[in-house]
Structure 1
Amino acid sequence: MKKYLVAISVITQALAACSTPNSNLNNQYYTMVDYYAVKKIDAHVHANNSSTAFIMQAKNDNMKLLSINVDYQDFPNIDKQAEIAHQFAKEHPNKFYFATTFSMEGSNNGQWKNNVIKRIDAEIGEGAVAVKVWKNIGMAEKDNKQNLIMIDDPLFTPIFKHLTDIHIPLIGHQGEPKNCWLPVSQMTVNNDKQYFTAHPQYHMYLHPEMPSYEDQMQARNNMLNNHPTLQFMGAHLASLEWSVDQISIFLDTYPDAVVDLAARMGQIQYQSTLDRSKVRNFFIKYQNRILYATDLTHSPTVSDAQFKSQAHKKWLEDWQYLTSNQTISVPEVDGEIISLALPKNVIDNLYAKNAIRFFNLAPKT
């Protein structure tokens, strides 16, 4: 705990010391002085703990939360996730939002699609603002012939058509970071090295029998081509995190789609060590299409105090990288990084306006 508090103190002092990072242009840029006053939304988190610590820390940081339910074996089951989300959405309206999901269990049954649609409708009735599909589609789930089920499978057509008809966005996590298809020693960021070392079942370099990275991206694109008016958010920079050029192509190809930054800020920071101007220009050009997000997860095994420290530290680090022109260090990337110093209007879009518009987060009366 002490190391987290020390880290937070160092970051806060450093940011406060640079309250005018852009000299006479400071009125065009935010600083640490503005951090608590600016309304923000973390558009991809996982509130998997019935404790209110996550929400309390978010309120302290003037941060709203969009918690995304996922059919993931390391998380509580999706019914428990839904129970927590329903409670928080009712108790903290206008501060906490959630996206629902569905299980692939029984997908070989003819009634499965109807049951999924019924579940989605029930969750929307409880306040869900979106539906999440996870990487188990394309990387784990199989049909009755033991073939992997990809996201462009006709199995999903009535579900995605229903979402289109009722104007509910789909959040898609297809594939993995491109690092997933590399040896650990060749991965570009430390968090990927750590994750795939701990989760070899998802480290595709070890599984050449599985679909390629390109196969995963093509299946996602096929699905979008088949559902051109479906509102879609590509989670984790649409798994194109390794190249802002590739993200740009995706956004240009699918002009109604958006992407979030969840768990991929390190990939962006890595690229900014190579070409800061390119990364900065990417954020400015696509400022209406990118949502701030972290993938912070409050699991039942993490203490409230430790999690609050971790969340606050992460939010401060990201704010510093996006708003200041300071040289910083982050755990995901080796070496120093020059922050992006994005203008206020870009920050306002990334941190709130895009999420409010895309997920229709109008205040509840």
Structure 2
Amino acid sequence: MNVIVRVAVSGGAVSGGAVSGEVESRSRAARRSSESAPYELSDFSRVRKFDAHVHLNVEDPTLPDLARENGFELLSINADSPDFPDLLDQRAVAAALAKDDPARIHWATTFSMMGFGTRRWLGRVTAGLAEAKAEGACAVKVWKNIGMTERDADGRLILLDHPVLEPVIDHARSLGLPVIGHQGEPHNCWLPLEHMTTDSDRRYFERHPHFHMHRWPDRPSYEDLIAMRDRFLTTHPRLQFVGAHMGSLEHDIDRLAGFLDRFPRAVVDLASRMSHVQCQSLRDHEHVRAFFIRYQDRLLYGSDMTFNAHTDPVRFRRVAPAIWVSDWRYLATAESQRVGSLRADVPGLALPRDVIDKVYCRNALRVYAISGDGC
């Protein structure tokens, strides 16, 4: 029920909306006065940070050097992607880079779906996980091909909750490896290009039509894939799960909040989804800010930067720091910036320092059981 309140002010009256706005403004100011002061843009280079989602696919020093210069540790994630090198090559590169700089470079392994369902496949995968753990892997990635493109011997799509995958997941948990799950895609994936909310998604699905589910009505729907992931987590309540790319719930932080409430062992990374968050903060800045504060222990910063054999190192050295600084400006400061993917100016969230320290570092160290001097 809406109630209109009027009060006398200097012989006149103000509407309930004005009173409500003033009360909310005072309440917001009171809340912020109890928070730790936000960082400034100038703090970026000196604060310890952790980018929990990158892909180092070749032994090139460019991204590790940039991480060192900008105060980042990195988690390089292997993925069973056709755009990436052979899985054995990915693993060898990640292990070698981590060996060269174990305090800064960390890595997550994955497994191939080739031969799925055979006894040899299961033995090869479980042995591979154990070997990767021994070589220093701190997690295992389950990519979106499971549920979207991989099929069994009978031509049926293989879903994450397929019983043949159960022993793989159980083995990962027994090894102490969190599972990084990339299930589904952004909600935009099921929309026509012209209806997508960000230019970045529009470009990606133009270039990768095989993953643009709007073109493939016979494939699982968005809701099918989210339900599949949730069924999987229901049957693995003790699993440490990291929902890559905001758990594919990037378009609706209220729905993401419900997911985090339902699955207390789950966390999510922010990789390649910042514009979706910014889109929502344009509509309701304080609501998005409150979400980050409430779920400050469940969110991991990640960029999804990828360095492949064909990557231009000169351009990468220019672009990568700009992405990191842009994300810091949005999350850590109140400064406004132009976001090209949204074609809009977006004010920053100015999150409290202790929240930034968790999102940018402490949570990743905890989730991936990485020792360090603290953030």
Task: Give, in angstroms, the shift of residue 331 of structure 1.
Answer: 2.4
Task: Give, in angstroms, the shift of residue 310 of structure 1.
Answer: 1.2
How does 1:1-365 map onto structure 2 within 5 Å?
28-363=37-372
1:199-219 per-residue CA deviation (whole Å, 9 max, x = no partner) reads 110000010000100110011
**C-alpha contact (below 8 Å) 1:163/1:230 kept by paired residues:** no
Larger radius of gyration: 2
Residues of 2 paired with 1:291 and 1:363: CA distance?
Answer: 17
Runs of at least 5 residues in structure 1 that lack an aligned partner in the other structure: 1-22
Matched residue of 1:44: which SS? strand
**Residues 212 and 24 of structure 1: is their aligned pair in 2 closer, same or farther, counting only changes over 3 Å?**
closer
Task: Give, in angstroms, the shift of residue 25 of structure 1.
Answer: 9.3
Residues of 2 paired with 1:157 and 1:274: CA distance?
Answer: 41
Task: Give, in angstroms, the shift of residue 166 of structure 1.
Answer: 2.4
Residues of 1 paired with 2:219 and 2:240: CA distance?
Answer: 28
Matched residue of 1:28: which SS? coil
Matched residue of 1:222: which SS? helix
**C-alpha contact (below 8 Å) 2:246/2:273 kept by paired residues:** yes
Q: In structure 1, what residue type is equivalent to 2:254?
A: D
Task: Give, in angstroms, the shift of residue 363 of structure 1.
Answer: 3.9
Residues of 2 paired with 1:363 and 1:337: CA distance?
Answer: 34
Q: In structure 2, what residue type is equivalent to 1:343?
A: P
1:267-313 per-residue CA deviation (whole Å, 9 max, x = no partner) reads 00111111111110000000000000010001111122211211101
| Alignment root-mean-square deviation, CA | 1.5
Task: Give, in angstroms, the shift of residue 39 of structure 1.
Answer: 0.1
1:53-86 per-residue CA deviation (whole Å, 9 max, x = no partner) reads 1000000000110000001111111111111101
Residues of 1 paired with 2:33 and 2:138: CA distance?
Answer: 41
Matched residue of 2:343: which SS? strand
Q: In structure 1, what residue type is equivalent to 2:150?
A: E
Q: In structure 2, what residue type is equivalent to 1:351?
A: Y
Matched residue of 1:259: which SS? strand
Runs of at least 5 residues in structure 2 that lack an aligned partner in the other structure: 1-31
Matched residue of 1:98: which SS? strand
Task: Give, in angstroms, the shift of residue 111 of structure 1.
Answer: 2.2
**C-alpha contact (below 8 Å) 2:190/2:212 kept by paired residues:** yes
Task: Give, in angstroms, the shift of residue 49 of structure 1.
Answer: 2.1
Segment drifting more, 264-273 vs 332-341: 332-341
TM-score (norm 1): 0.91
Task: Give, in angstroms, the shift of residue 330 of structure 1.
Answer: 1.7
**Residues 163 and 239 of structure 1: is their aligned pair in 2 closer, same or farther, counting only changes over 3 Å?**
same
Task: Give, in angstroms, the shift of residue 24 of structure 1.
Answer: 9.5
Residues of 2 paired with 1:25 and 1:311: CA distance?
Answer: 34
**C-alpha contact (below 8 Å) 1:45/1:293 kept by paired residues:** yes
1:4-63 per-residue CA deviation (whole Å, 9 max, x = no partner) reads xxxxxxxxxxxxxxxxxxx99997111122111100000000011211110000000001
Count the aligned residue pairs. 342
Segment drifting more, 274-283 vs 106-115: 106-115
TM-score (norm 2): 0.89
Q: In structure 1, what residue type is equivalent to 2:218?
A: E
Q: In structure 1, what residue type is equivalent to 2:249?
A: L
Matched residue of 1:333: which SS? coil
Task: Give every structure 1 segment of 4 or more consecutive aligned residues whose post-TM-superposition deviation is greater than 6 Å.
Answer: 23-27
Identity of aligned residues (%): 42
Task: Give, in angstroms, the shift of residue 326 of structure 1.
Answer: 1.6
**C-alpha contact (below 8 Å) 1:44/1:68 kept by paired residues:** yes
Q: In structure 1, what residue type is equivalent to 2:80?
A: D
1:170-198 per-residue CA deviation (whole Å, 9 max, x = no partner) reads 00000100100000000001110000011
